[in-house]
Chains A and B, each alone.
Chain A
Amino acid sequence: MAEVHCFTSASYAYLDRVGVLAETLRRRHPDWRLWLCLVDREPPGFSVDLKDYGIADVVRVTELGIPHLQRELFTHDVVELCTSVKGQMLCRLLEGGADKVIYLDPDIAVFNSLSGIECGLDEHDVLLTPHQLQPEETTPAILDNEVGSLKHGVYNLGFLAVASTPGGRRFAGWWRDRLRDHCYDDIPNGLFTDQRWCDLAPAYFDGVHVVRDAGCNVASWNLSNRPISITEGGVICAGDVPLRFFHFTKVSGPGETMLERYASGRVEVFELLQWYRGRLAAHKVPGLPGGWYAYGCYDDGTPVPRAHRRLYRDRADLQERYPEPFKAGYSAFESA
């Protein structure tokens, strides 16, 4: 059987989530290899053994061979940067000899076998999971979920599976190139990080397949049609099928409100949430300063405002004049 390589992409602040993803994935697929693309740098005096978090291999953002690295680190915020590297990382694994590559967001937890996904890559080059699999029926759900997908992309890129076939590699190369230059949260201009690009994929590439298993990538945006329940035999289900993986998006804030809105009066989804929070606590990263993100601040510790990132992105003259944008002090971009 072909070797399956999984990867995720995260900063240190999400390492607890990575830990939960790794532990749940290992339980179902102990033979799959999980990589972390680490989009961060350690705080001074901080050290952690990523093997404790179930990570087999780590690739740092600085090791991806990204041209104009400082510029890229500066022009993207943390979400944009963590998503923009996914194409590069995918290509790296395929070029490294992986037969099948599966990307999973760090805030995903696996509850049942993903063998169907693995087998799907024997038939198709690329597998995508749509945010929704069936039309919504109420106005709030249409606005939240369907209009949400029109804004953010039809497919949720918390999951992506690609086979090392010619078609799979063509897709990966195209996606990597687009993300390199156009991976921003800029909905008015038709972009939402890596996601909206994949709206184009089924038209561009023959081998793209839409996964219609309602147990995959369950989250607040499709919960209205896939209520979580638990069978007498203890199987966690989404709608009528076993829950394969749940995407715990923003569960510390607005995500919980959205789960509440679409819980269908069932408590099981909150049992999942409580369990997830417990596992996050178990994987808490000791010694990591709250809100840490190495590329979130200038060298003097001042947070980089979004407006600075956008200005620098859009002005080639500034990029030329300040090639090291994180530098602080006299004649630095921060004080310009």
Chain B
Amino acid sequence: MTDWTDEHRLLSSHVDTAYYLEANPDVAAAGADPVAHFMTQGWREGRNPNPDFQVAYYLRANGDVAAAGVNPLLHYLSAGKAEGRQPRRPLTEERTVVEAASPARLSGGWDGAPDPEPDLNQTTLVRLLDRLAPRDASLIVAFSHDDCERNIGGVQNLVRAEASAFAQLGLSYLHVSPQRPHSFHSEFPADRTTYSLRLNGKRLGATRASDLLAALRRGDGGAPLVLVVHHLLHHSPEVVAQFTELDLATTIFWVHDFLSVCPNYVLLRNDVSFCGGPPEDSGACTICAYGRDRARSRERIRRFFAAAAPQILAPSESALSVWRKAAGLPYRAAAVQPLARLNLSRTKPRETPSGPIRVAHLGAPAMLKGWPTFRGLAARFADDPRYRFYQLGHTSGRARGVEYASVSVTRETPNAMIDAITELGIDVIVNWSICSETFCFAAFESLAAGAAIVTHPNAGNVTALVRENRQHGLVVDDEGGLHALFGQGQLAPFLSAGDRFRGSLIPEGGTATWLQETMDGRAVLRRLVRTDRIEAMSGIEVAGG
């Protein structure tokens, strides 16, 4: 009896009852004492007593403990800890990601089925286009990886904004997306590829790529087209390359991510570490789950670029810099065209926090977005009265010491995140993205809400954004620096020192904005639109028009 009582007493300070009951609803439903349950049967059933002790791992890694049949937590507390044994699988989150890394998972999967039959044949398509997008007017033909009216995301938002901006220029916008997803790139030729078409946002139907090619051959007197490739995911690069043979004013290729460098388009080796796209025959690519697919994908991408020699548009300097370094592909010229613009009110700075500093993670509780780092930070400072931790997003990470607020940014509520940051009085966003962000909307939303950003040196345009706006955030070297920042209380003086203003995020018109606002773009635009119209729409005087 004494032994039982002693054990219960010892374990009661190590069994996290709230965690145990949440993780084991059957125990909660039975009204059992969590400590007693863990002691008598829980550990034998592989149930963990708290988030930091993994029963199954401890028994697997310590065969002597498993063979002795003793409670692994008791063993750890009485002997294992002093012997240097690990209570949980070291680096378990990172290793779980590595173990799950798979091209099939990232590519969205393809069931091997052929593309569906189209509902538009060539004759119908030609008739439709002749009526809706006459041959004597230029047409923008834009490719991306999905139907932008049915999905939401950075590329989808841009395509819609771009279509709208072109409409203002009087140009029609034909959006082309694969009717079905494929593994990275489709293997089908043009006459077996089915595209979904939208003209100026309205669905036209589905057509074979070969029929679309024929319909876009405009013949003598036809106005030139502009080919815009936002994404080659799920597309056959060879089929899209055939569109470069049409009468084009230019071909634009957007670097929204790094699919043209590697099928792992965020350049995360084994989904866990930013790799920057090293040589394909490097050791890194050899041991990467995407290495084999990369070799084949690159061959096809190279052929596409050789045919297209496109104008490159990247949403940020950091994206362009990574791409230039890693891609090794031929292109005509490259420029930066941001996806949105931050418009801050300079009249009234945001007030300095009076209570605890409110610190948040924005978005999904995903490794890619630095969730493990945030969770670790929150766990360490959960009981520190100087801070309160929040997660704002549509899926809760359920972490100790983190308050969750459900936020969904939709087409109808584009400012939902900015509003939530403001309403909750969030002072600081920890943006610890492990990939090099090309254009991180969350970072812009943070600034628009007047919150400061804490990030690291390799977060792509997030790092650049903070460095350009020193009063808006801090760049710390690593997680050690992050913990030191919080531990040493350096955030409070930083937040008091500089003014941060609230404002809004204004979407830009993508390719249309580039055509209107840059010298290279205007040179192309003059081939598409009458000069007086350009001047009227953009307010920019067109040199030599």
Mark A residues whose CB is within 8 Å of B: 111-112, 140, 230-236, 242-243, 254, 256-257, 260-261, 263, 265-268, 270-272, 274-275, 278
Contacts and interface: CB of A to CB of B under 8 A. Distances in A.
Interface of B: 61-63, 84, 86, 89-91, 94-95, 98-99, 101, 269-270, 272-273, 275-276, 278-279, 282-289
Contacts of B101: 274
Contacts of A234: 275, 278-279, 282-285
B283 A230 contact: yes
B281 to A, nearest CB: 9
Nearest to B270: A271
A257 B284 contact: no
Contacts of A278: 289
Contact of B91 (A111, A230, A232, A270): A270
13 contacts: A233-B278, A233-B279, A234-B275, A234-B278, A234-B279, A254-B63, A267-B98, A270-B95, A271-B98, A271-B272, A271-B287, A272-B287, A274-B289
Contacts of B284: 230, 234-236
Q: Which 7 A-B pairs have the closest CB atoms?
A: A234-B278, A234-B282, A234-B284, A236-B283, A275-B287, A267-B94, A257-B61
A88 B469 CA distance: 71
B94 A270 contact: yes
B98 A274 contact: yes
B273 A230 contact: yes
Contacts of B86: 260-261
B71 to A, nearest CB: 20
Nearest to B83: A140
A31 to B, nearest CB: 18
A112 B283 contact: yes
Nearest to A243: B283
B278 A232 contact: yes
Contacts of A274: 95, 98-99, 101, 270, 289
Nearest to B97: A267
A267 B372 CA distance: 14
A260 B285 contact: no
Contacts of A243: 283
Contact of B286 (A111, A257, A266): A111
A111 B284 CA distance: 10
Of the listed residues B61, B89, B289, the one surrounded by the most CB atoms of chain A closer than 10 A to its CB is B61
Of the listed residues A140, A231, A234, A242, the one surrounded by the most CB atoms of chain B closer than 10 A to its CB is A234
Contact of A235 (B62, B99, B270, B282): B282
Given A270-B98, A274-B99, A111 B272 contact: no
Nearest to A139: B84
Nearest to A27: B286
A232 B86 CA distance: 31
Nearest to B272: A267
Nearest to A144: B84
Of the listed residues A243, A266, A274, the one surrounded by the most CB atoms of chain B closer than 10 A to its CB is A274
A127 B84 CA distance: 35
Contacts of B288: 271, 275
Of the listed residues A233, A271, A278, the one surrounded by the most CB atoms of chain B closer than 10 A to its CB is A271
A260 B89 contact: yes
A230 B61 contact: no
A230 B272 contact: no
B283 A271 contact: no
Given A230-B283, A265-B91, A267-B272, 4 more contacts: A243-B283, A267-B98, A270-B91, A274-B289
A266 B273 CA distance: 11
A93 B272 CA distance: 44
B60 to A, nearest CB: 8
Contacts of A265: 90-91
Given A233-B278, A265-B91, A271-B272, A260 B287 contact: no
Contacts of B287: 236, 271-272, 275
Contact of A232 (B270, B276, B285, B289): B276
B383 to A, nearest CB: 24
A105 to B, nearest CB: 19
Given A140-B84, A235-B283, A275-B286, A260 B90 contact: yes
Nearest to A242: B283
Nearest to B60: A257
A235 B269 CA distance: 13
A235 B282 CA distance: 6
A261 B98 contact: no
Nearest to A233: B278
Contacts of A261: 84, 86
Contacts of A270: 91, 94-95, 98
Nearest to A266: B91
A269 to B, nearest CB: 9
Nearest to A254: B63
Nearest to B99: A274
A263 B89 CA distance: 12
A242 to B, nearest CB: 8
Contacts of B273: 230, 267-268, 271
Of the listed residues B95, B275, B287, the one surrounded by the most CB atoms of chain A closer than 10 A to its CB is B287
B90 A263 contact: yes
A268 B272 CA distance: 9
A292 B283 CA distance: 33
Of the listed residues B91, B98, B283, B289, the one surrounded by the most CB atoms of chain A closer than 10 A to its CB is B283
A49 B98 CA distance: 33
A285 B111 CA distance: 28
A260 B90 CA distance: 6
A267 B282 CA distance: 18
Contacts of A242: 283
Contacts of B286: 111, 275
Contact of B95 (A112, A235, A267): A267
A267 B284 CA distance: 13
Nearest to A111: B283
Contacts of B62: 257
A42 B460 CA distance: 56
Nearest to A275: B287
A5 B184 CA distance: 41
A299 B269 CA distance: 50
A127 to B, nearest CB: 23
Nearest to B276: A232
A172 B84 CA distance: 42
Contacts of B275: 230, 234
B390 to A, nearest CB: 28
Contacts of B276: 232
Contacts of B282: 233-235
A268 B98 CA distance: 10
Nearest to A235: B283
Contacts of A232: 276, 278
B354 to A, nearest CB: 38
Of the listed residues A256, A261, A268, the one surrounded by the most CB atoms of chain B closer than 10 A to its CB is A268
A257 B64 CA distance: 13
Given A235-B282, A236-B283, A263-B91, A230 B269 contact: yes
Contacts of B89: 260
Contacts of B94: 267, 270
A230 B98 CA distance: 15
Contacts of A266: 91
